[in-house]
Amino acid sequence: MKTLIVTGGIATGKSTFIRLLMEAGGARLRLFDCDAEAGRLLDGGTLKAPLSSVFGPASVDSSGKADRHFLRELVFRNPESRRTLEGIIHPLLHQECLAQMLAARQNTEVDGFVIDVPLFFETSARYCQDAVCVVAVSRGTQKTRLAIRNGFREDMIEAILAAQRPIMEKVAAADFVIWNEGPPDLLRQQTQRLYQHFFHD
């Protein structure tokens, strides 16, 4: 079984690429989505005590769910707070990912394990991966998508992008690059080629 890290930057279209990749692989691929798992942790009440202890009672609501707006404003404006939050969440994500990867390895019908790690290059966690794929667009495209899709202000967009490693540095460090600008068919063609080359050749 081969393991592929998929990363990129915010608003690069990584989720669309992963959807196409999973469609290509069908039941032969398994996916671990770090954002989805982090969301489950933030909404499940598991982190109520550590979050409120570190960031104060405003970081969680009465049911124990994290206040994502509060945390987003905090961590994108304060690098130290971001690192603290990552220190709480990332070890739990890493442990769960490795457990799911082990289960997939024991299934002879599974060819590959895809791990969606938005901040792979920004963290020290490693997953015994065989390769890293970066989904990339220009910085200008990222800013436009964030403004249209999320409605973020210019200062928030700049803070978000400043918190991530520049996309072209990630491109230089990748084993594979999916360039996601242009017609949708181009992304689909790149996805099919990568699937065949990496998981089957």
Please write the tens of the pLDDT for every residue from 109-125.
Answer: 999 999 999 989 988 78
Residue of 89, 92, 59, 96 whose CA lies nearest to 74? 59
pLDDT band (50, 70, 90) for residue 163: confident
Q: Is 174 helix (H, G, I), strand (E, B) or coil?
A: coil
User: Which residues make up each annotated binding site for ATP?
Assistant: 11-16
Contact 24, 195 (CB under 8 A): yes
Report the C-alpha dihedral over residues 138, 193, 16, 67, rounded to 10 degrees: -80
CATH topology for 1-198?
Rossmann fold (3.40.50)
User: Which residues make up each annotated binding site?
Assistant: 11-16
Question: Regarding beta strands 2-8 and 176-179, do their DSSP bridges make them parallel or antiparallel, or are they unpaired?
Answer: unpaired
Mean pLDDT across 183-191: 95
Write down the pTM of the prediction: 0.89
Residue of 57, 80, 59 whose CA lies nearest to 69? 59
Contact 138, 180 (CB under 8 A): no
Q: Of 22-31, 125-134, 155-164, 180-189, which range is least confident?
A: 155-164
Domain residue limits, the chain: 1-198
